[in-house]
Amino acid sequence: MTTKKAMLIDIKRCVGCLSCETACKQLHGFSTDPEPTLSDTAFTVVETRGDKFVRKICMHCEDPACASACPVGAISKSALGPVLYNADKCIGCRYCMLACPYSVPRYQWTKLAPFVKKCDMCSDRIKAGGQPACTEACPVQASVFGNRDELIAEAWRRIREDSSYVPHIYGVEEAGGASVFFVSDVPFEKLGFKAAPTGTQPVPTLTASALGDSPKVVIMGGTILSALYWITQRRREVALADAEEKAAITRMKDERSQP
Amino acid sequence: MIARIKSEITLWRAIVAIIFVTGMYATYIRFFEGFRASTNLSDQMPWGLWVGLSTLCGIGLSAAGFGISAAVYLLGMERYRPILRASILISFLGYMTVCVGYLYEIGLPWRFWHPIVMWNHRSVLFDVCICIMTYTTVLTFEFAPAVIEKLPWKRFRETVLHFHHKILIGVVMAGVLLSSMHQSYLGGLYLIARGKVHPLWYSQYMHAMFYLSAIPAGLALTVMAIYLSMRSLNVRVDFSILSDCGRMIQLLLIVFAFFKVLDLTANQAWSYAFQRTSEAGYFWLEMLLFLAIPICLLSFESVRSNPERLYWSSAVVVAGFLVNRLNVSINSLQSAMGTHYVPKWTEMASSVLIIAAGVIAFRYAVIYLDILPKLPKKPEGFTRWMSNGGLAAQA
């Protein structure tokens, strides 16, 4: 039984040193110049909101909208927690980018063979028992990595022990839950966090009902169409029989009238 | 007179030439320089004109094929048989343009076949892909007799057409079901983007709204194409059939308007329609072009029974439909995504190229195959070159 991993980001503790951003870029071999928003060469960025610093990163949802949207199943939720992208399957339709409620996935617009780019929570490192480059680089434990259950307990401990924290962990319940949590001493909506479009329901539930209707449509539609066709055929046969009968009657009358 | 006709010929040929040259150049940029050079797409606007116009409008405007074939084959409305082949041809060519457009849209076009073998049944887009592929096959099958009957081999012809006739009804039924599913799933694609799609368009019944709006638009395009064929090619159709189509379009538009009003009310979205936002402007433009104007115009007997007036009313329906689909796919997303997207010329040029190729294919199919009832040959051989064969349908 693998334990689900997660990441906790403490906005109160973050000092905006950008160590996480730089560590991520170094790990992937990108230029370490800071970027204003997520891009295909910045899987996490630290945004300034007033006097606070807010990390942007893939939320690694429990039931990811991107994974449900992908027509070829190139995105999947792994047992350890990270939401992983399989570049070998991707056709580049970019529906994941439209589906993601947090607008995280990025595209390599300049490449001739472009792929989707996003954080994979350093899946290879955590599989080997390590932790992501960003949490390892954080000098003040504003970003910490650990088992999902323990991190939720740790977040609640921080909230309990320091009354300046908002009593809410963003990411535990949003859109069916995620593997990246935020705690903050400033209300989340003031920091640009949006309420999840589905509340605590996973985003894929939005399409589930429409898709769930399709077997019904096929069975009911097929029955109705067959019935209509049968009626049409029957009417045609009746009309034909009527016409033949009439023709026969006229023929008989004609024969009688000329003895 | 002849001089005037000659000048017309050169104008349309020049336009077609320009469309092909710019379109081919845009295609080169798309496939050899990539998305950044050929589109204004961005991480905030991952889907643009190609999805909005080539796919959503292309499929929607091809809806007449399944509508008319259901009416003729399943409901026994023999009255519409003369325009059956034309509507199937339009659908077939429409789906062909969508299939070509798909190669422009996806980032890795050489992997176009992946959805066939890599399934994700939770994905609306997967269902759309599979339905469109299957239905394109169905349309090819429905249209095939028009080509096969022209083949010189008698035995082959008879065997194939006999077999074709035997399974036709089943195929038509499958076509109706497949169409119903993917016409609505195209709207269903946006269900998952709640919070991104503007409330004037987002609803949990978006898929139903797409289905309801596609059929009148597809019929309107068929009316336009047949009118243009009659004006410029050697074919004649009993005009009262098109008049009846006009009545049908109006009825379907009223049904759509009814559900749109119901939907907006249920979602409490009316207040957004009266804000001073660009979305509200686009919303009213759509309501005006797609619903208000055509419903009014088509209620007049004098409009329905006059070919030219019916043609222009249908053109307004098609224009309104384009506004609707582009509203959903582009305008409704911009404010939530904090971006302003205007398609690059290359996106437009390549889309126009694909549409123009479809229109030209339609023209030659009508000339060389038995698509619409032909008139006896006229002495003036040049009449068929007089017009553009439906190029105006692009507008």
Regarding whether A172 and A105 lie in a shared domain, the answer is: yes
pLDDT at residue B91, as a whole number: 94
Q: What residues in A contact B128, CB-CB < 8 Å?
A: 71
- How many Å is the maximal CA-CA distance in chain A? 119
Q: How many A×B Cβ pairs under 8 Å? A: 164
pLDDT at residue A114, as a whole number: 94
The CATH number assigned to the domain with range B2-394 reads: 1.20.1630.10
Residues in chain B: 395
Are B129 and A115 an interchain contact pair (Cβ–Cβ within 8 Å)? Answer: no
Which of A44-58, A173-187, B355-369, B372-386 bottoms out in mean pLDDT, i.e. has the lowest? Answer: B372-386
Are B120 and A232 an interchain contact pair (Cβ–Cβ within 8 Å)? Answer: no
Instruction: Give the pLDDT confidence of B143-158 residue by residue, as tens digits.
Output: 998 898 888 888 888 8
Are A228 and B32 an interchain contact pair (Cβ–Cβ within 8 Å)? Answer: no
pLDDT at residue B384, as a whole number: 44
Instruction: Give the pLDDT confidence of B106-139 residue by residue, as tens digits.
Output: 999 999 999 999 999 889 999 999 999 999 999 9
Are A65 and B192 an interchain contact pair (Cβ–Cβ within 8 Å)? Answer: yes
Residue with tokens 């259901």: B70
State residue B210 phi and psi, 5-degree precision: -65, -40
Residue of B393, B71, B333, B317 lying closest to B197 (CA atoms): B333
The nearest CA of chain B is from the CA of A227 a distance in Å of 9
Residue where a domain stops, chosen among A203, A225, A242: A203
Whether the per-residue pLDDT at B245 is higher than 50: the answer is yes
Regarding whether A222 and A199 lie in a shared domain, the answer is: no
Chain A residue at shortest CA distance from B104 = A93
Are A217 and B177 an interchain contact pair (Cβ–Cβ within 8 Å)? Answer: yes
CA distance A170 to A191: 12
Chain B residue at shortest CA distance from A94 = B46
CA distance B281 to B198: 13
Are A69 and B180 an interchain contact pair (Cβ–Cβ within 8 Å)? Answer: no
The shortest CB-CB distance from A98 to any of B74, B118, B193 is to B193
Regarding whether A79 and A186 lie in a shared domain, the answer is: yes
Regarding whether A104 and A20 lie in a shared domain, the answer is: yes
State residue B291 phi and psi, 5-degree precision: -115, -65
For the segment B62-83, the average pLDDT, to the nearest whole number, is 90
A124 CB-contact burial (10 Å; exposed 0-12 / middle 13-18 / buried 19+): exposed
CA distance B91 to B327: 23
Regarding whether A223 and A143 lie in a shared domain, the answer is: no
Regarding whether A217 and A199 lie in a shared domain, the answer is: no
For the segment B249-260, the average pLDDT, to the nearest whole number, is 95
CA distance B388 to B380: 17
Is residue A84 within 8 Å of residue A76, measured between CB atoms? yes
Number of domains in chain A: 2
Domain of A193, in residue numbers: 5-203
Instruction: Give the pLDDT confidence of A114-126 residue by residue, as tens digits.
Output: 999 999 999 999 9
Chain B residue at shortest CA distance from A215 = B181
Q: How many other β-carbons are positioned within 10 Å of the β-carbon of residue B255?
A: 14
For the segment A162-178, the average pLDDT, to the nearest whole number, is 90
CA distance B356 to B67: 24
Chain A residue at shortest CA distance from B131 = A214
Residue A81: give its domain's CATH number. 3.30.70.20
